[in-house]
Structure 1
Amino acid sequence: MTTGDAGDPDRTAASNELSGIVNGPVVQAGTIHGGITFHVAPAGEWAAPDEIPPLTVRFRNRDGMLDRLDGWFVPDPEGASVGFAALYGLPGVGKTTLVSRWAERGRKWFPDGQIYVDFATLRGGTAGADVSEAVWGCLKSLGVDAAYIPTTLADRTRLLRTRTAGKRLLVFLDNISDPAHAAALLPKGRGSVLLVASGSRLGELAMDGARMMPVEPLDRESSLQVLADRCGAETVAADPDAADAVVRHCGGLPVALHVAAARLTTEKRLTLAGLAVELTDESRRLAGMSLGRERPVAAAFDLAYRELAPEPARLYRLMGWYPGATFDAGVAAVAAVLDPRRTADALDALTRASLLEETPDGRFRFHDLVRLHAGERAAE
């Protein structure tokens, strides 16, 4: 920009240029008579973020996995690198609880804070909008005023790297479905850790150095302990056969066990034996894992189902009606009237989403509760 006074031959034109990103007040002027006053709101007192959800239930059966995370990521004195891991498994299997427990016991390893982003709350906008919003939230957590956060994802990502350099942070991305989103949120500080939890097996993250950790359903003994923790050891001990049946119908999923226990403690006329009988009926089982209008178990599966492309979603619904315990790709192809290649792609998508399990002999099977969910979606 060129400035000058056309009526004053003694005043020389001046060039005045500004480039790059500026966060804050700027003045471009020639001669200034008097002072300039900026009115900038004072920044509030910033505290290191502590955002990962707290545990509200007793932690069970994951000690080996906690020890593995310790072995991977407990910072050494030099903090030589950024840790990165992806936890995956069935919806409702307890991935968030596992990370919450590790974050709680490892608080001292991350003196600059712990940041939490739940991608389930950011979906529904245009492509890429969720990750840009996620980076915006991380910058806010790190004390950047909203007025100074850039508008583009690329600029936000660069600023996030700058703000995390030299810090030791734990960043937890929950319910992530796109592996590309994780890269934008990697902290830069040595000794920091990025943990990703997903229903999908985001194998692409392994190429970026992520360690992969499957999270399996709880075993029978741990499931019984969860039930006893929530509804009382005396309740479980009074009718061990009914407790076994309830645990079996919950399939080792903590979300199902918590709903079952909540019903036993809030519905005064419901007994453990009565709940066991109710859950035995497959047509009523998912409905029996509800609290009023809330259906936490079905909602967890819905989250993964809505991420499916149309063809895998259709195969999911159809195979929910299949009466056998396992099936092969040929049966799936006949059921869906698909050629072998498209069938293989759809089965792979369901397996990656943790909605279907491939057995060692190359067959496929649903978790019992997932199969019931698939059947419900087909009926709808």
Structure 2
Amino acid sequence: MKAASVFKSCVGGLLSLALCGCVQSTGLGERAIVKSIYMDFRAGSYEAVLTVMDWKPSADAGSAENQPQVYLGRGKTVGQALQKAEDQQSKKPFYGQNDLLFLGQGILQTDITPCLSYFAQENAVRPNLMVLAVRQNAAQWMEQKEQMGKIVEQSGLMGVKTQGGQEISTSLYEFFRHEGEKASGWMPIAALHDNGLETVTSLAVIGQGKQTAVLQDEQTALALCLAGKSTELTYNSAVGDNILSFIARGVRVVRQAQMENGTPKLCVLVEGEFQEISMDGKTLYGDKAKQAAAQINRFLEESAKKLSQKTFEQGNDVFAFSWWMAQEDAAAVLRAKEEAELYRADAVNYQFLLSAPKA
């Protein structure tokens, strides 16, 4: 009995190893290691580009090096397009190391829901798959073959970087907030250059499966803070006739729900401290810095209102404001939704209380 029990344990352990990929029936040299997937939708068809790390023997007989290869496939469904791309090479694909899903402009303008749903239901794909938007079409993406190794290395699980150096990412499951609804949320728009991915300066807002807006400059920084993805605000651009530059770190977002005449409302307080403020290249100190801080707070409040016009007021609650309101009165929030009274311009109020730099 004891021997039989030990045998069963060993068999169970081996099966577990096989299922998790630790024991491979196919050798490493016979596997196509997929490191990123690009998807787009054009002329009624899905387009898939697989970035595969092809293991090649190196000069050292005891080692091997991986070289990026790209393969394109088209089909009426996401699965068909991927299969066509897989068929462009002879090795068995392995998706267990893939962290990245890039979406082209065609699919962003159509509906990303079927694509994201496919990968959400595909057991071979990692659950923490990171989703990024890019401006390249499939042909242009294929031309980036030499950069793919750097792109995969720079993004990966940790995400891409903001101007201030903070790493951000948007995982696959963040787009499915309510069962049965189309994908909604936001994703970084990543540009390419000779060294791989640029820092993220813009975000694509997704509502009802489609891109509804593009956030840039201070709205990108604000969105990251409101979404809990960043604790800094970095800005360097023109405001009126001046070039304004500032860095605020340790940014905290405090949400206070309240009822007003039976209507749910939310006050969003943004607190923190400016590390540096400069105007036209000159760093400000003392009273000038305090005056500038007050002006910037007003500027950010107006920017936040414009951000709400592109998101919350369109019924796209990407920052979960209604969830915070529901903590005060869930029944009132549900009633406001049913009566089309929730996503009003006066439902969310912003207050920025960022203090001036310390002397």
Give the TM-score of the pair, scaled to structure 2: 0.31
More strand by share: 2
If asked which structure has higher relative contact order (CA below 8 Å, sep 6+), I would say 1
Give the TM-score of the pair, scaled to structure 1: 0.30
